[in-house]
């Protein structure tokens, strides 16, 4: 893959994707709305790497190598000659379509345009592009540096060679790709997010405590993490966004988010990122 690889969006997922690609030895550039946000993304990656060094997960040399491969810009036009651009902005269809329309007009015709959407239609996102065949889904999982899976999602028009190139790239950064036909929620979220919702319903009915629900699933179903702890890791707001997408796209009430999840969002309890969710992290 020709370098640099561009990641548009310096939020939690964008930072994780950029860090992972840079750690694999690729020159990686984060593109943000302004230079302050761009610089902040690099600073937060530096903090993440420093924490990994302190916990002896990586060496100082690995940290410095990763940081040496990272940079950030605020001018979207910089991506024009990229071989691969990975979008990692807010999970909103209109926002993504607006960005992809811009990328389509800016980028060389050979540029692969990838979206990190967790549930939205690749075909809908690609519909604003003159060549929808170059658009593909690359769904990474949080926390990106440690999660091995990437779902490669083909839209209705995604060309086979584009999917193959992206799968090869994913393998080159140490991840395991799985190829998925376009379907709401793809594989993992279609299975896991409804489980989280059902666990929230069980908690809301006071059938068992949050801790006991998670313990039951860890010991009784051999899950490495309970569904409510997983919800905190993903983000309660993200869980609800995915549920609402599933409900809309599949037309099934079983995906309606539990009232408890909406209550937690209203209270600012979004999980680990806010210090409080089903569990307290202060």
Active-site positions read 118, 139, 151, 189
What strands, in cross-sheet order, belong to the sheet with 176-181? 70-73, 28-31, 5-8, 84-87, 112-115, 135-140, 149-154, 176-181
* Residue 18 to residue 133: CA distance in whole angstroms: 24
Task: Specify whether the CB–CB gap between 100 and 113 falls below 8 A.
Answer: yes
Q: How far is CA 23 from the centre of its chain?
A: 17
CB atoms within 10 A of CB 258: 21
- In this structure, are residues 91 and 64 in contact, taking their beta carbons and an 8 Å threshold? no
Token digits for 260? 């408890």
Q: How far apart are CA 58 and CA 52, in angstroms?
A: 6
């Amino acid at each position: 893959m020709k370098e640099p690889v561009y990641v548009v969006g310096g939020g939690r997922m964008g930072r994780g994707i950029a860090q992972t690609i840079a750690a694999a030895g690729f020159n990686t550039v984060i593109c943000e709305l302004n230079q302050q946000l761009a610089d902040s993304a690099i600073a937060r990656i530096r903090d993440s790497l420093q924490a990994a060094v302190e916990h002896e997960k990586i060496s100082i040399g690995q940290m410095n190598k990763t940081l040496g491969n990272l940079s950030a810009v605020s001018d979207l036009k910089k991506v024009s000659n990229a071989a691969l651009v990975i979008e990692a902005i807010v999970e909103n269809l209109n926002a993504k379509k607006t960005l992809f329309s811009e990328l389509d007009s800016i980028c060389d015709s050979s540029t692969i345009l990838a979206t990190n959407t967790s549930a939205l239609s690749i075909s809908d996102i690609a519909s604003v592009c003159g060549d929808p065949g170059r658009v593909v889904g690359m769904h990474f999982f949080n926390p990106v540096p440690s999660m091995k899976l990437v779902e490669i999602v083909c839209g209705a028009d995604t060309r086979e060679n584009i999917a193959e190139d992206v799968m090869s790239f994913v393998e080159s950064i140490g991840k395991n790709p799985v190829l998925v036909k376009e379907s709401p929620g793809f594989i993992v979220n279609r299975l896991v997010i409804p489980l989280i919702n059902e666990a929230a319903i069980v908690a809301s009915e006071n059938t068992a405590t949050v801790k006991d629900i998670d313990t039951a699933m860890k010991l009784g179903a051999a899950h490495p993490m309970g569904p409510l702890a997983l919800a905190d890791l993903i983000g309660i707001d993200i869980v609800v966004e995915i549920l609402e997408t599933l409900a809309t796209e599949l037309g099934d009430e079983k995906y309606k988010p539990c009232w408890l999840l909406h209550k937690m969002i209203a209270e600012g309890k979004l999980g680990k990122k806010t210090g409080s969710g089903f569990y307290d992290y202060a």
